[in-house]
């Protein structure tokens, strides 16, 4: 966006459009109505499409990651390497009887 003032040459080129009858006949309310009814709806549609695509991509990636984790923990590991919880396999120590550490 160019925020500099228009040059004299640019103003001469724009003058017919700025002085057009239709521009003087249309009220600010009509411009606002047009913007709300048309431009805002187009923008909403564009943003909605991008957001839906991003959400769907995230869902696919999360599902793939969870599936990968579930597969790893249920199928991918051999029984000799499987430890469901830290300290698993120590249950027999607890059931062995009173502690002999005195």
| Residue 49 within any structural domain of the chain | yes
Domain-located, residue 92: no
Domain presence at residue 63: yes
Is 101 within the bounds of a domain?
no
Q: Does some domain include residue 97?
A: no
Whole-angstrom CA distances from 86 to 24, 74, 81, 95, 101 are 79, 17, 13, 18, 23
Q: Which domain holds residue 34?
A: 27-76
Q: Tell me whether residue 65 is in a domain.
A: yes
Indicate the pTM of the whole model: 0.42
Count: domains in the chain:
1
**Helices in 1-102 by DSSP H: which ranges?**
8-18, 21-25, 28-34, 40-71, 91-95
Q: Is the pLDDT of residue 19 over 60?
A: yes
Tens digits of per-residue pLDDT, 23-80?
Answer: 777 788 888 888 888 888 889 999 999 999 999 999 999 999 999 989 888 886 655 5
Residue 102 lies in a domain: no
DSSP 8-state class, residue 4: S
């Amino acid at each position: 966006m160019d925020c500099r003032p228009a040059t004299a040459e640019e103003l001469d080129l724009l003058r017919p459009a700025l002085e057009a009858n239709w521009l003087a006949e249309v009220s600010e309310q009509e411009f606002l109505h047009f913007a709300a009814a048309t431009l805002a709806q187009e923008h909403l549609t564009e943003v909605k499409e991008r957001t839906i695509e991003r959400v769907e991509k995230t869902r696919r990636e999360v599902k793939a990651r969870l599936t990968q984790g579930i597969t790893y923990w249920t199928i991918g590991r051999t029984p000799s390497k499987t430890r469901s919880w830290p300290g698993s396999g120590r249950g027999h120590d607890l059931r062995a009887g009173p502690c002999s550490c005195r």
